[in-house]
Amino acid sequence: MKALVVGGGGFVGPYLVKHLKEEQGMEVYVTKTEKETLDMDCSGIYNLDILELSQVAELLNKIRPDYVFHLAAQSSVAYSWKNPGLTIDVNIKGCVNLLDGIRQLDYKPRVLLIGSGEEYGHIKDGECPIVEDNVLRPGNIYAATKSCQNMLGKIYSDAYDMDVMMVRAFNHIGPNQTPVFVVADFCKQVADIENGLAEPVIYVGNLSARRDFTDVRDVVRAYAMLVKDGKRGETYNVGRGHAVAIQEILERIVALSDKDIEVRVDESKLRPVDVPIIEPDITKIRETVGWEPEIELETTLKETLEYWRRETKINP
């Protein structure tokens, strides 16, 4: 079977490609942006700007994938406040281009659109853990674009009888994630301190928010299971199903180090609007495809810190 991973040059892409190739035995093709350099073991790597419909259509016709994984996005909440226009273009217009390109094929590949737990936004008392048909009240621009992507996926699936499924992925973490995201940020700061590159102070934003963290390797396994056995037009939460406070994440990462580290609030890390708790109900994916997260949070935190220790080490 042929898989096309659109937006494979980011954090999740390389993990997904490895899983599809090595664990699922698929022939895997990947797209990246022009500015990215990507070196991975797969059947083909192509430059693609999803804002260009003709490029999207040409590539789909050339590869004719059985499965399409849509990872391409402007995926940072913080950046979405700074550049809402670009976030809307890439996450909404880009998704429509992909869906339209797929609609024009003479066959129907299975498509997985990757959305976010952020779509649920301002969750009311009693709504956690959140089920997929909960009201969406996005609390930031990124979340609004991903909610829109989800709706478009459902509309294309129903209106054109396309084989489209959607996920709402909650925070996923692991080695190689950019330090724009909280766990990578904390691990990098601790590694910098250990390697003598920074004073023993860790700068943090809002520590009270509670988020649900899953290892990226568990997440890509869920995606592979969903394209095989998920149901068209449906949305699936992908997460651990147990939110923890960012404060606890910080404490656990700091405890992995033998340095004495002071915690200081950095105003620039505080977001304009924050959502106090986001925690998924994962019954639907568990019952439909049998997926469960397997990797312990502690393991992922340790491996992420190890990664940053290697990355920030200055060679003597």
Binding region for ligand A2R (CB under 6 A):
7, 9-13, 33, 35-36, 48-51, 71-75, 90, 94, 114, 116, 169
Nearer to ligand A2R, 162 or 222 (CB): 222
The CA distances from residue 177 to 50, 76, 183, 292, 309, in Å, are 22, 12, 9, 22, 14
Nearer to ligand A2R, 166 or 254 (CB): 166
d(CA 137, CA 118): 9
Least Å distance, CB 259 to ligand A2R, is 29
CA-based angle 260:262:265, to the nearest 5?
Answer: 160
Least Å distance, CB 249 to ligand A2R, is 17
Least Å distance, CB 45 to ligand A2R, is 12
Residue 312, SS3? Answer: helix
Which residues does residue 265 pair with via DSSP β-bridges, in sequence order? 204
User: Cα–chain-centroid distance for residue 228?
Assistant: 19
Nearer to ligand A2R, 76 or 195 (CB): 76
Nearer to ligand A2R, 17 or 261 (CB): 17
Nearer to ligand A2R, 65 or 94 (CB): 94
Least Å distance, CB 69 to ligand A2R, is 9
Nearer to ligand A2R, 33 or 195 (CB): 33
Sign of CA dihedral 92, 95, 99, 104: positive
Q: Which letter does DSSP use for residue 117 in this model?
A: G
Least Å distance, CB 35 to ligand A2R, is 5
Nearer to ligand A2R, 6 or 277 (CB): 6
Least Å distance, CB 315 to ligand A2R, is 27
d(CA 67, CA 225): 12
Q: Which two tokens stand for residue 224?
A: 């592979």
Q: Are 8 and 71 a contacting pair, CB within 8 Å?
A: yes
Nearer to ligand A2R, 73 or 253 (CB): 73
d(CA 279, CA 300): 18
Per-position DSSP letters for 169-206, written without gaps between them: E--EE-TT--TTSHHHHHHHHHHHHHTTSS-SEEEES-
Least Å distance, CB 170 to ligand A2R, is 9
Least Å distance, CB 52 to ligand A2R, is 8
d(CA 35, CA 47): 9
User: 77: closest CA among 201, 205, 198, 165?
Assistant: 205
